[in-house]
Amino acid sequence: MAWPTKPGSQAVDLTVLAVPGYFAAMGLEYLGQRRRIARGGAPSAGDYERRDTLASLAMGNLSLLAPFVMPRLLRSITPGRGRFAKVAVGVAAGAAAATTVADIVAKRSERRMALVAVTTPVEAVEQAEAAGPAASVALTARSDPDLLARRIASIGGVAAIAVGGVALTTAWATAMTPDRLWSRRFVPSLGSGPAALAAAIIGWDFIYYWNHRFMHTSRYMWAVHEVHHSSERYNLSTALRQPVADALGTSLPYGLLCLFGIPPEAVATARGVNLIYQFWVHTEAIDRIGRAERTLNSPSHHRVHHGSNRQYLDRNHGGILIIWDRMFGTFEPEHERVVYGLTTNIDTFNPARIASHEYVDMARDIASSTGWVERLSYVLRGPGWAMRHRAIDA
């Protein structure tokens, strides 16, 4: 489940109207769990735990504030809008240039040191070791220019990707708003009737599938979405554990539907319908829903999506319809018991750490990289690649 960067343009946000229903459903689920335990039932990963639930609710509240706060904070460096946008682009370009030069200097130094190591006679090495630690270090250590170059590359690489990335994501969001795309539509308006709403709901769900799938296969998007998967429990409060950094990601714009004559108001309504539907699938209280599971997303299908079991990773991305997963090869039925959470759990209930830890890890990886291919791979490739690559370097 992923919430778009901005609420829709409709006067009333359906997801806000649904808030009392969210809490009522959570209360019923909690009472059901208490009744089950009172009858001797075993504890479950679906049970409410105070700290986990509070963390989920905190992230939910922050996710509601983020669409109003983040654009204002980033507006000044948004290309085409902000007064400091050119400065930001210049900083990113300068940092990239400095990093590239530093990479060249460091690699030349490393080759020179490797050549020295190969060509230095064994007798010279033995004499240096006999002369004491200082002589041995002088013979084998990196030069000061090499160390300085690596330090510059570490700082510059992080700065270039962070500042340049924000410039790209904000520019993309500004260019792809529903209102802008509606003004450029190449199909006449479908109006405000049932046909337009049905097309909006199906179209939104189709785009949502691809965006959701992309969030699991590109690390900078996973950094946004990982918040939603960070809980090791699975109940209706988990549905409210939402990202706060949507502004730092890019996605296939839902406003593309406007190009096909679907009004922005219908797109906004489809958003609300999609998100409200996805709330109820975050539960262990419902096992299966019968034949409807052939077409619709269900608690069983979505439990798989939240599983850290190897066979469940990156499966069942659909929002309302599960047919997209069946069509495009990402469907997995629920067989064995689901283990919820991340493949490496963060073991915290601190909202600030929940929201930021993947960005911190990504910055460390970029800082330790020795070239642009490696840096960009840590950002653009999947989180699994980063883990495997770190293991190789260890």
Mean pLDDT of 215-228: 97
Q: What is the pLDDT of residue 10?
A: 46
Q: Does one domain contain both 136 and 66?
A: no
Q: Choose the final residue of a domain: 111, 129, 161.
A: 161
Query: With the CA atoms of 368, 391, 342 and 68 taken in that order, what torsion angle do they form, in degrees rounded to the nearest 10?
Result: 20
Q: Does one domain contain both 34 and 120?
A: no
CB 232 within 8 A of CB 59: no
Work out the pLDDT band at 13, boundaries 50, 70, 90: confident
Whether 305 is in a domain gets the answer: yes
3-state secondary structure of 380: helix
Q: Does one domain contain both 135 and 34?
A: no
Cα separation, 237 vs 278, whole angstroms: 12
Give the rounded percent of residues in the chain with a pLDDT score beyond 70: 89
Q: What is the pLDDT of residue 9?
A: 45
Whether 387 is in a domain gets the answer: no
Cα separation, 276 vs 92, whole angstroms: 40
What residues contact residue 100 under an 8 Å CB cut-off, 6+ apart? 372
Judge whether residue 3 has pLDDT over 50.
no
Q: What is the pLDDT of residue 138?
A: 47
Q: Does one domain contain both 90 and 232?
A: no
Q: Does one domain contain both 222 and 291?
A: yes
Closest CA to 278 of 244, 251, 241: 241
Q: What is the pLDDT of residue 73?
A: 92
Q: Does one domain contain both 71 and 99?
A: no
Q: What is the pLDDT of residue 394?
A: 64
Q: What is the pLDDT of residue 4?
A: 41
What residues contact residue 65 under an 8 Å CB cut-off, 6+ apart? 244
CA distances 314 to 258, 265, 271, 325, Å, are 29, 32, 23, 11
Total number of domains constituting the chain: 2
Whether 361 is in a domain gets the answer: no
The average confidence (pLDDT) of the chain is 90
Query: Per mean pLDDT, which range of 139-153, 185-199, 236-250 is the poorest?
Result: 139-153
| Structural domain boundaries enclosing 225 | 14-77+176-354
Q: What is the pLDDT of residue 125?
A: 46
Q: Does one domain contain both 57 and 195?
A: yes
The backbone torsions φ and ψ at residue 340, rounded to the nearest 5 degrees and listed phi first, read -85, 160
Question: Looking at residue 183, what DSSP letter applies?
Answer: T
Whether 385 is in a domain gets the answer: no
Judge whether residue 116 has pLDDT over 90.
no
Q: What is the pLDDT of residue 16?
A: 85
Residue entry with tokens 């915290």: 348
Q: Does one domain contain both 329 and 255?
A: yes
3-state secondary structure of 51: helix
Q: Does one domain contain both 230 and 120?
A: no
Residue entry with tokens 């000061």: 144
Mean pLDDT of 302-324: 98
Q: Looking at the DSSP assignment, which residues form a beta bridge with residue 289?
A: none
Closest CA to 6 of 220, 257, 276, 254: 254
Whether 370 is in a domain gets the answer: no
Whether 119 is in a domain gets the answer: yes
Work out the pLDDT band at 121, boundaries 50, 70, 90: low
Judge whether residue 188 has pLDDT over 70.
yes
Whether 25 is in a domain gets the answer: yes
Query: Per mean pLDDT, which range of 35-39, 46-50, 137-141, 177-181 is the poorest?
Result: 137-141
Cα separation, 158 vs 91, whole angstroms: 12
Judge whether residue 5 has pLDDT over 60.
no
Q: What are the pLDDT digits (tens) for 132-187?
A: 555 444 444 455 678 899 999 999 999 999 999 999 999 999 999 999 999 999 99
Work out the pLDDT band at 108, boundaries 50, 70, 90: confident
Within the chain, what is the greatest distance between any pair of CA atoms?
Answer: 89
Q: What is the pLDDT of residue 6?
A: 45
Whether 203 is in a domain gets the answer: yes
Chain centroid, CA 118 distance in Å:
45
3-state secondary structure of 263: coil
Judge whether residue 204 has pLDDT over 80.
yes
Q: Choose the final residue of a domain: 104, 136, 161.
A: 161
Question: Looking at residue 337, what DSSP letter applies?
Answer: P
Tokens for 224? 């946004």
Q: What are the DSSP calls for 77-142, one per residue?
A: GSTTT-TTHHHHHHHHHHHHHHHHHHHHHHHHHHHHHHHHHHHS-HHHHHHHHHH-HHHHHHHHSP
Q: What are the pLDDT digits (tens) for 340-392?
A: 999 999 999 999 999 999 999 999 999 999 999 999 999 999 999 999 998 88
Q: Does one domain contain both 320 and 261?
A: yes
Q: Does one domain contain both 237 and 152?
A: no
Q: Does one domain contain both 66 and 189?
A: yes
Closest CA to 48 of 24, 30, 32, 68: 30
Work out the pLDDT band at 127, boundaries 50, 70, 90: low
Judge whether residue 40 has pLDDT over 90.
yes
Q: What is the pLDDT of residue 184?
A: 95
Q: Write down the H helix ranges in 120-218.
A: 122-131, 133-140, 144-175, 178-182, 194-215
